[in-house]
Amino acid sequence: MSASPLTVGIVGATGAVGKEIRGCLEKREFPVGTLRIFGSERSAGKEVETKFGKVTVELFEEDKARECDVVFLAVDGDFALKHAENICAGDDGAVVIDNSSAFRYKEGIPLVVPEINAETTKGKKLIANPNCTTAIGLMAVWPLHKLFGLKKMVMSTYQAASGAGQPGMDELVEGTRAVLAGERDVAENKIFAHPLPFNVIPHIDKFQENGYTKEEMKVTWETRKICGLDDDFPVSCTAVRIPTSRAHSESIVALFDKPVDVAAARKALEEAPGVKLVDDPENLKYPMPLTATGQYDVEVGRLRKNIAFDNALEFFVCGDQLLRGAALNAVVVAEAMIENGALAAKV
């Protein structure tokens, strides 16, 4: 994209999401003039090879981060709560795009899927990136909402080990290896509530008083905020961890105000940015983690009228959790902010 070169900072660049942010910046030709990578005492001083040259990891300091034009936070919520607002404070602060849950529900801070609500970033310095599950699902739901008017939504998710970061993926791989090698009958588990290899776990994040988990409620809360829906808009989710390495899948039943038309829905999805319609059952083509992994677009398929409810569509979605559900979304947010003037090089 054409824009003045920016000084770009990444905090947490050596983690799973941080690595993908760097990759997206490189592949999408984001206007990086200088890339600065911030880390802990353990990683400070290490050199990282990038498309923008060799970068030495700097020990994180708020004042150093404030020198950047934009800072991507790929760290936990506690770190973000402590530092994000200080990094972006004042006219001389940096734009901060935070991948944690720290600010998603805070009044006045945009929660953004840029294909849906990029305009909310205008005049803002701190932007929240949504939960991966929400971002992937809404890429498919939003075009249909614009066409038919969403009334209710029920989602079931099948979430990869990557949702727990690199440690989660490592636990799945090592546990699978140990069982197949005959070293153990059941894999060990430290990251997940139960062993994940050869199992599914209907439990992601903490259980809430209403019986849902926090991961499930994130879909409800974030769908309402991103799409500009009422605070009591009905969205229900069941989130399940499955033994795949990467890319989340979702089965969605969406009920609408207007009568639905499958052909019109297909056309809307085909034309939607960031969406790839993969819906040819006769030739065994439908969304799968295997084909969605590493892809920028969210795959949507198995599109059909739901036979249990009036004016309802049912479909299946797959998207790379580390890309569309995290790193890519953050970088596309920054691109949208360049276009609308909310992000520019400091004078």
Catalytic annotation present for 88: no
Give CA–CA dist 347/339, Å, rounded. Answer: 18
Q: Which residues contact 63 (CB under 8 A, 6 or more apart)?
A: none
Q: Catalytic pick from 68, 88, 132, 318? A: 132
Q: Catalytic pick from 88, 145, 227, 248? A: 248
Catalytic annotation present for 194: no
- Among 318, 281, 291, smallest CA distance to 140 is for 318
Residue 108: DSSP 8-state: T
Determine contact, residues 20/328, Cβ cutoff 8 Å.
Answer: yes
Residue 60: DSSP 8-state: P
Give CA–CA dist 173/197, Å, rounded. Answer: 8
Give CA–CA dist 276/295, Å, rounded. Answer: 10
Give CA–CA dist 247/296, Å, rounded. Answer: 11
CA 208 to chain centre: 22
- Among 115, 136, 161, smallest CA distance to 273 is for 115
Q: How many residues does the chain have?
A: 347
Catalogue the active-site residues: 132, 248
